[in-house]
Structure 1
Amino acid sequence: MRIVVLISGGGSNLQAIIDGCNQGNIAGHIVGVISNRPQVKGLERATQSGIAAYTLDHKAFDSREAFDDALAAQIDTLKPDLLILAGFMRILTPAFTQRYVGKMLNIHPSLLPKYPGLHTHKRALEAGDSEHGVTVHFVTAELDGGPAVIQAKIPVHADDTEATLAARVLEQEHIIYPQAAQWFCQGRLTLQNNTALLDGQPLN
């Protein structure tokens, strides 16, 4: 499977996917990494691994639609089977999400449908939640609202801060995102009628 990864920052989840491919735990290879921000750590990670790295600065475009059109054009030159959003901090237009529906995954640091959007760790702490976590989901036009594929849960400790919670959630991200990518690359994970299926069975 040909994989394209979209990033905006440090790329630790990108690194987890790179490692999964290199170690044979993901039946695919990354053919390109695209960042909407220049000179981020994730681009270095790609280059150091011999992966083509591209910058498409969203600030150079006068509208969300213009950026998404240029992004889609760049993606299509790479002919991906799977698009992975790894800390890609852009809200994508419905036209873009529809173009790649069923082959685009995102990871979000909350137990969706709880806490779509930003500041998830802060919101979990303020709500007094006893558990928190992370979700891999298919991308649809609804922000952080696509069908969930896999979640990892962690307990919230009495002395947790946003930083400690974020660090423990990130550890889980690096486990479940390569797992979801492997399921997709094996042909086991599909999206049908807005339902995520694993081996033909709906995922709850």
Structure 2
Amino acid sequence: MNAPAPPIVRSSRAKGEPLVWLTAMGLAIGLVMVAGLLAVIISQGVGVFWPKRVTRFALPDTAGHQVEVDGVVVKRQLKTPELGKEPIEEIQIYTGNREVYNLAFRYIDVHRIASESLPPDVMLIERLENGNAIGTPLALKSPASTLAATDPRFPKQLSDAVAAAIARRSTIEHLEKHVIGRNAAEISELEVRARNTSSDQQGDMP
């Protein structure tokens, strides 16, 4: 008689199962990284839609008087202390007005700040050059009139003036990109034709 065949031992784990779990783990890590990246983008970008208020800091000067500095708080951090001293907390503020101060950011030691306030009349103005400007409006001047900032009509007039400036800027950009560019291309083409015509005439001469 033939000996009975040995029993077939089957593994309880399917072939390739470790690779499936490894792939799933990699996918989970990737999803977590994407979610974290989106969270960072949202947390950093939300300030574009809800900008921070301009804060006014009262600081003592070398003569003992108080000077006021307007700016937007960018970050808070601990300044590296000197040997044997405690760390000092400082803030970085955006002061704008680069063409006036020759810098746009400034560091202030927190312990030097006498007071902080949120002045309602200070504006953060977006500009096309030299970065944003921070200041208190005094008046709105035009060739026809001058309107003081204390006038109740000032906010509406300022908004209308900004809208008119944006419209003029759009018109200028359209002229520069389309009308002037098209005219320059046509002039260049006419110059090429004129040179070709001149060359043909010289070639026909005996």
TM (norm. structure 1) is 0.23
TM (norm. structure 2) is 0.23
Bigger radius of gyration:
2
By relative contact order (CA 8 Å, sep 6+), the higher-ranking structure is: 1
Question: Higher helix fraction: Structure 1 or Structure 2?
Answer: 2
